[in-house]
Structure 1
């Protein structure tokens, strides 16, 4: 009789274990599309069997085992971070390329070409009012082209700053959420649902900046930006902030990413959307419009062209007969740090003020006009910037923007493919297979039916035995 009762208990325990396994399988199926969720396995263990000691054996449930693989998670986060950075850089550089196209029939390049052409035509008819008017109009158009390009570059900088602030706000929201999930795990212990939320938040965070995740034995996560700057430590989050401060009257404002303790951590943001925006802001944009330590290539070109043209015009004369009238400057700008945005024609300048003549030996009515026309291809050091003609300098500037844009587009595509591959590998390692879970469910149901049948048989035997005793 005792053997029958022990067998009943063992079979009943087996049913409870199978209930747990079926519940785990059903939970896997229900959460197969839940972000951050990985397959859970209901493990079992054999119970000791020793009849002399009253141990009847059987099976018991162990805590659920997660199939999460931290190396796979790290690979996904790394690829997501790189993709976020490359994608935003590709977008911003594409817009910058539109501002400074390599096509010389557009923008500053077109305006500069037309100014050289107007100088050339004027040099053949230095006293022609029509040609003088054409020069003045071309000069105005060049100033306008520089103004427009500088304004658009400035708008892109401001857009990058605004997007960086938005990214930092999102980062702080995610780190606050991660800290709250850590606290829940600390208080309540392991939970597959909370773990899924935690890893989904970590992946979202990696899309915004480059992070290192240190998993703790209790399932919580400590998060560092660039492996050095604390963002989450246990149940405490540490907020980042953006600082945009003036750098003098004429230079663009300075961008800084600040840690919770007030340190400048801009250089540590190298991944995710934030890292891409920082790279764009402190790289191509600073190269063009300056950063407080250098004027930028766009301002350098504008100031050098204006200065050289002014030098030649002021060395000549607008008329030689009967009384020589000295030439006056054509262009003016505020400073070398914002020459492109402030370049304009000197107030009150008239086309008749253009100085074509020089008092050389012999005097020439078009000497200065010829020198101005020669600026297009002049090899003289005074007519160049770092050994390049003005056209070559502009070409190198626009070519660099074009190269960076093309390179970022290629890298963005490769990075997106890497994300797909990393997620696919993670899915193979720890994702939920509906086919596999369906097979398990059938297996558990059959085992459940067999155990239920066993209980029915044992119940019948017990009843028969009781009836025989009665």
Structure 2
């Protein structure tokens, strides 16, 4: 080997070790940076005229386990969906309350029943009659508050959908932009690794909203599809999603009646097409708005209607007619079975027994529509109302209840359903969190290992010293030749 070739080989080795050292430094500096992929220097033997000619740096490769990365994105989408459902379930359970807990809907019903029993034992006591009216109002207020909270949750979900769609559109546009920039850098022979890291982080954020699959395209670009196969980005122009938020949501609103689904590239999606975007926070917000909250509202409405009907029965209060409202009213009128949607939010105490509204508490003893006060010792109506609440009656037609049950039993079923939904959501969230954490650990294991990087740095140091000694030996040889 000639001196010139030996010098060239040593110089290429120094260049490669310098580039490798830079790679190690970048890995160590970004060991904790989210979305950073470990860099590895790619080298090959350099040949000249069929003979070895040193080492050539072919480029810098990003070390990414594509299959584990794909799994992590699906897992993060499932985690986001489970977290959204759990947050709603906890919110509803906190509002309705656990059975027997202070401030719960069940406690309000128990207080009302206790007040009726107390007044029945002393019907002449005006204070006890007033307490019955107060506890009845408190029960109606608790139903109102629960209904209001459910509709507020629907409204919050509707707004969250709008935010998710805006974030999704922005992120897809950023991925498309990065695709173009990466293609330019690769065409120039530059290293686009930093842009690829940025793109990877954006795609991971997208996956929390809608789980996606990444497909490699030429020139370093990627295409994005939902896990169900819908195209989000394949080319230079991403899919454009839009959503018209309703603002305040009421019990009577549903899809097609005040509430909208998504629009994709100007075409409104059907309910079946919406399944293509399932699996992340976006689909969970739709589920809260259109399914989960509506089911809770329907149970509260059924409960409110059952309460209303039990105390509006002429068999309980002989002063009432078949069209009378009874102790509880729907806007001052008798509740209509065909229009009970949202009744839990409208039910109120009859003004006939509210002193502040011109009513008289003695009507709780003499009858809601009594023209004059009866004997002060008459307790028949109070006892009849108490028995009506405790009586096992058939489920009202069109309700979600079944069989015969007292009002307390039906409320207990609602409380149990709400608690069961929360427990199931909590279990699902725990499973999804565990899966996501496990996959994330696998992904992190392929990341930067500080010990391995320091070992690689020592190897580069040794290679640098070896090449430097070759150059030093060449210089010594040249000095001796020139000195002859």
TM-score, normalised to structure 1's length? Answer: 0.83
Partner of residue 341, structure 1: 345
When residues 24 and 137 of structure 1 are mapped into structure 2, their CA distance, relative to the original with a 3 A threshold, is: closer
Contiguous gaps of at least 5 residues in structure 1: 290-295, 319-323, 358-364
2:305 pairs with 272, 278, 303, which one?
303
Partner of residue 280, structure 1: 288
Partner of residue 23, structure 1: 22
When residues 7 and 346 of structure 1 are mapped into structure 2, their CA distance, relative to the original with a 3 A threshold, is: same
Partner of residue 406, structure 2: 389
Task: Give the drift of 1:31.
Answer: 2.5
When residues 36 and 138 of structure 1 are mapped into structure 2, their CA distance, relative to the original with a 3 A threshold, is: closer
Q: Is the 8 A contact 2:176 2:237 kept in 1?
A: yes
Q: Is the 8 A contact 2:161 2:282 kept in 1?
A: yes
Q: Is the 8 A contact 1:132 1:351 kept in 2?
A: yes
Confirm or deny that 1:427 pairs with 2:444. yes
3-state DSSP class of the match of 1:44?
strand
1:350-369 deviations in Å (ceiling 9; x for gaps):
44444768xxxxxxx76665
3-state DSSP class of the match of 1:63?
strand
Q: Is the 8 A contact 2:45 2:52 kept in 1?
A: no
CA distance in 1, matches of 2:449, 2:325: 81
When residues 145 and 56 of structure 1 are mapped into structure 2, their CA distance, relative to the original with a 3 A threshold, is: closer
- Residues 46-445 of structure 1 aligned to structure 2 (within 5 Å): 46-48=45-47, 53=49, 55-104=51-100, 105-121=102-118, 132-189=129-186, 191-245=192-246, 251-254=252-255, 255-261=259-265, 262-264=267-269, 266-289=274-297, 296-312=298-314, 316-317=318-319, 329-333=326-330, 335-349=339-353, 350-354=360-364, 369-381=382-394, 385-387=401-403, 388-429=405-446, 431-445=447-461
1:79-116 deviations in Å (ceiling 9; x for gaps):
22222222233333222211111233433322322333
3-state DSSP class of the match of 2:56?
strand
Comparing 195-204 with 231-240, greater Cα deviation is found at 231-240
Q: Is the 8 A contact 1:316 1:356 kept in 2?
A: no
Partner of residue 12, structure 1: 11
Q: Is the 8 A contact 1:182 1:220 kept in 2?
A: yes
When residues 12 and 327 of structure 1 are mapped into structure 2, their CA distance, relative to the original with a 3 A threshold, is: closer
Task: Give the drift of 1:260.
Answer: 2.6
Task: Give the drift of 1:433.
Answer: 1.5
Contiguous gaps of at least 5 residues in structure 2: 332-338, 354-359, 368-377
Comparing 124-133 with 383-392, greater Cα deviation is found at 124-133
Task: Give the drift of 1:29.
Answer: 2.3
1:104-137 deviations in Å (ceiling 9; x for gaps):
3433322322333344455566677566544433
When residues 42 and 309 of structure 1 are mapped into structure 2, their CA distance, relative to the original with a 3 A threshold, is: same
